[in-house]
Structure 1
Amino acid sequence: MEVANKSNRNPLDRVLGRLDDLDEVNLGILVQRLARERKLLETVFDVIRDGVLVLDEKGLLTYSNQQGRNLIGLKDKHTEKINIRKASPEIARALGMDRTQDPSYPEVVMREMQISYPEVRQLRIYAVPIERSASKDSEAEKAGLAVVMTDFTEELDDLNAKIESEKVSSIMDLAAGVAHELGNPLNSINIHLQLLQRNLKNKDQGQKMEKSLKSCIKEVQRLDGIISHFLKAIRPSDPDFKKINLLKVIEETVRIREKELNAKKISVSMEAGVREPMIHADVEQIKQVFFNVIGNALDAVGEKSTIRIVTGIDDHYVFAKIVDQGIGIRKEDISRVFEPYFTTKKSGHGIGMMIVHRIMRDHGGEVGIDSKEGSGTIVTLNFPRKSIRRTLLGSAESDK
């Protein structure tokens, strides 16, 4: 049994276990070898285009590659033991550094955000907790975070063009799917209209006629929904910015989903940090955002569950968090949730979160996803406290 335990130990543990048996010469050889291997790994990481940061449980930076230091504005001599809260408060806030030791901290965090220091850049951030090796009688403890940062600032300039080109290549597939969806209700309407035509000759068939009419109306409404969803995906409109109360928009959207929520006996808990969180936005587009996100939460949870919607204000954003304790998102899927036509649902078209991402981007906002498979998902929607229109006008005037 003891031999089996030794074989399960990782190579580093086995080396460290032999340190007491090494003489001074062999110990020096081992140190030189480890130094060479560290230098090799640092060279490899420094040529990677993504920024890499390793943080301990207190948020202290224990390792960073060259791109990581560039992205958060650190010089080489300042990288040792500096706290991420000091080096980059924006990233620290996005990662939720104050709750990394919380057992409910997600197993993977994804953010798309804008940082303002050392220069304005758009970053895509993935963070995964690091765990200490657990002993036989204890659970693994969180030892910090591994953070990977991708700078996609230049990509944004071409993003709309890329999305349009993707739509051109895939619109035929989507259109074929819509055509198939339209076929079934059209056949149903046709049959019921034929029955109505026959029953009109018989005055005693009023009850059957009423039933057929209700079926026709239901199928027409279904057709209208399919067509509206299709048009929103392929023909996005520019936002009509107005000052709106975010809480009222959320409440109206929940009412729209009320029938589906009641069918699964799901309750919605509203937790408002402020009475009137005001934002500058297109009210209909923001309703669409919450309609899609709440719909995903509704699909993810079981019956008699609760969906929490938490709103509040911080220094930069008015935010809303949609929290569910559903099935969660797999690690390998979380980076694809905004891709057009990607879905893990049997009946989904895979364009709901793509629409959410586009609308939030058009509003100068951010979407964050924290998820743990089997535990649930938190979708964070950040709306800028300053109107994006005023920001654009201000930058235009400063260029004159």
Structure 2
Amino acid sequence: MRTFIERALKKLPKMTAEQITDLLIRTAAENERLESVLDSLAEGLLVCDADFNLILVNKSAERLLPLVFHDQLERPIWSSIADDRIADFLQRTLLEGDRVLDREFDVEVKGIQRLLAISVLPLVKDRRVTGSLIHVEDITEKRAKEARLRRAENLASLTTLAAGVAHEIKNPLGSISIHIQLIQKALQASRAACSDEPENHEPVTIQAAPFDLLEKYLAVVNEEIDRLNRIVVDFLFAVRPMNMELREGNLNSLIHELVDFVHYELEENHIQTVLELDEKLPTLCYDERYIKQALLNLIKNAIAAMNEGGILTIKTESTGSEVHIYISDTGIGISEENLSKIFEPYFTTKETGSGLGLTLVFKIIKEHRGEITVKSKEGEGSSFMITLPIPQKETKLIAYGGDQP
């Protein structure tokens, strides 16, 4: 249609009134069709010109956003948004010439609470930026579905977790039972020694051995009780929903803190640390407590895998839409048979491991809408890669009206 109109405009001086009328009717019909398409979209679209004036808005945008329409024709787009946070975001983004993807906002429109993802994109014509396009998507149901899916996954793994807990608890309970029986026998032996006291009631010196045994048995009981407590704490952490407190933070700084924290442990195990941290890493929103725990678990696993020393490499990089964190070791590696099982609850190859460490890491990363993968080969080491989404992508645009090479 565009090509047809361009050809028609070139012939306009030679066209008859009837041909011009026909052209106008066809153009109006095409415009109505395009408007119908725009209004039929589930996502909101707003278009502004190079001076940030709102020139087009579809029905979904009117439904999703708290819009205020003015009498004057030309107005900056942010003056038409009743929500101060969205208005400030659009004003700052457009004036600075940024490109932003999927910035999330909680808004209330007509008494309904919604979660919106707003993107600001350049409007390009003939390789020149002539304005901006604002895309608005209602992700309320999408986030609710993700939450329901996570809950379903948690419930599905609950049976496995419960079976694992029952198995784990059975062993220390058996040990406690045996040592309590030994304590009882030691006490009975002490009572028997006291009952054999001579008639002159001269005190009998009780040997210290039974009491030494009591201390030994009680120490084992206390150790097993601590073990039970750790199992229960880990289990509760694995099944309870996480109360995420997302804050903007620098992952590189967090990694430096963790490496300092395990510095002496690394030295004692003759492990060299190599940091390859991307200096241009963008700030991310994450829960510092949980991300620290996830990374610390992976670092501790790497240390355990290098019992004869080795190299621990921690690397960060940004791909534009994601941040990657690599934690690699030169340890014993993981067999191909076990590689697919390492994130399963209570699966462990360690004699003293709980089997929940990597399960908790997996859960923490999933709660941050990320992914974790592993590559490993026996005898050559392992490399875990964490992928976290960047909530927005900021790239300076070409100045409005500027020519592209």
Between structure 1 and structure 2, the one with the greater Rg is: 2
User: What is the TM-score of this pair, normalised by structure 1?
Assistant: 0.46
Q: Which has the higher contact order (CA 8 A, sep 6+)?
A: 2
